[in-house]
Amino acid sequence: MHADKVAETEKLAKAIRVEPSAAREMVRFDKVVKRFGDNVVLRELDFHVRPGERITLIGPSGSGKTTILRLLMTIEKADGGKIHVDGECLTHSNRGGREVPADEKHIRTVRKKIGMVFQQFNLFPNMKVLRNVAEAPVHCLGLSRGEAEARATELLELVGLGAKLDAYPSQLSGGQQQRVAIARALAMQPKVLCLDEVTSALDPELVAEVLDVLRNIAASTDITMLCVTHEMKFARDVSDRVLMFDQGQIVEEAAPDKLFTQPEHQRTRTFLRALLEEH
């Protein structure tokens, strides 16, 4: 590695600061059920993710991969089962020795550990780039405006947008907006980062700049990543484990080299072939 590359990696590691976890499992789903009306999206799903592990979720659309991220981020509510994050239960809390559905306050404390980047970026269009990144640390981490902006500036420089602090999101390209969104998620110092098809809405030539940023983050921090993507090269480079989903269940899971070259399951083979033809 070049010296400046090493320096950059160290800077990223310092800026992002992922606290080490004592838990054996960073994320655990226990028999999680999710329905939308009559449509059962997840049927008693079990899986876990170790601290620092990078997981890629693949599968046809409607197979429930995005729903997993949204449940973890508490954007959706599970209809059954339990979700644990970093040793704490996200879906339930303990009241007088009895387990009850988690209330807003409990969810809020556990949710701090999780961050998310969306397909459509979802930046706040009424705020400049710097405030997009600094807003949550001020109100949720108790940083002063000055501290939060200093850290936001640092993060934005690391994703290559040091020159765009005073721009509005609408003045940026899709790739730039998505990099702001990544910086914004990291500013909250989550232990788990959910990436929901973060390059699907981008023009093809802008995909690389976003993936490069994510590769850097993966290489220089211990952050746990759950990634829904159709970028197979990226998945191969970054992830430790790939989970193939179909109809709300895990069909097959393996290290990327194994799963992409010698898939065991017929469903995985047809899915990967279809994906290759598309590209």
Residues at the site binding other proteins, with contacts judged by CB under 8 A: 73-75, 108, 111-112, 114-116, 118, 120, 122-127, 135-136, 139-140, 184-185, 188
Question: Are the C-beta atoms of 51 and 222 separated by less than 8 Å?
Answer: yes
Rounded CA separation 94/110 (Å): 13
Q: What's the min distance (Å) between Cβ of 31 and other proteins?
A: 24
Cβ proximity to other proteins: between 120 and 249 the closer is 120
Angle 79-84-87 from CA coordinates, rounded to 5°? 160
Nearer to other proteins, 57 or 259 (CB): 57
- How far apart are CB 237 and other proteins at their closest, in Å? 25
Are 199 and 214 within 8 A, CB to CB? no
Q: Which is nearer to other proteins, 135 or 157 (CB)?
A: 135
Residue with smaller CB distance to other proteins, 43 or 128? 128
Whichever of 134 and 251 has its CB closer to other proteins, that residue is: 134
Give the amino acid at 248. G
Report in angstroms how near the CB of residue 47 gets to other proteins at its nearest. Answer: 21
Q: Between 36 and 264, whose beta carbon lies closer to other proteins? A: 36
Min dist. Cβ of residue 214 to other proteins (A): 17
Smallest distance, other proteins to C-beta of residue 88, A: 14
- In angstroms, give the least distance from the CB of 117 to other proteins: 8
d(C-alpha 104, C-alpha 245), whole Å: 30
Least distance to other proteins, CB of residue 212, Å = 23
Q: Contact at 8 Å (CB) between 238 and 215?
A: yes
Q: What phi and psi values does residue 141 have, to the nearest 5 degrees?
A: -105, -5
Residue identified by tokens 């940026």 is: 172
> Cβ 188 to other proteins, closest distance in Å?
6
* Number of alpha carbons in the 13 Å side-chain half-sphere of residue 143: 18
* Residue placing its CB nearer to other proteins in the complex, 123 or 155: 123
Q: What angle do CA 193, 6, 232 make, to 5 degrees?
A: 45
Q: How far apart are CA 38 and CA 116, in angstroms?
A: 28
166/257 with CB nearer other proteins: 166
Query: 191-213: buried (b, 16+ CB within 10 Å) or exposed (e) per residue?
Result: bbbbbbbbbeebeeebbebbbeb
Identify which of 53, 190, 225, 183 has the alpha carbon closest to the alpha carbon of residue 114: 190
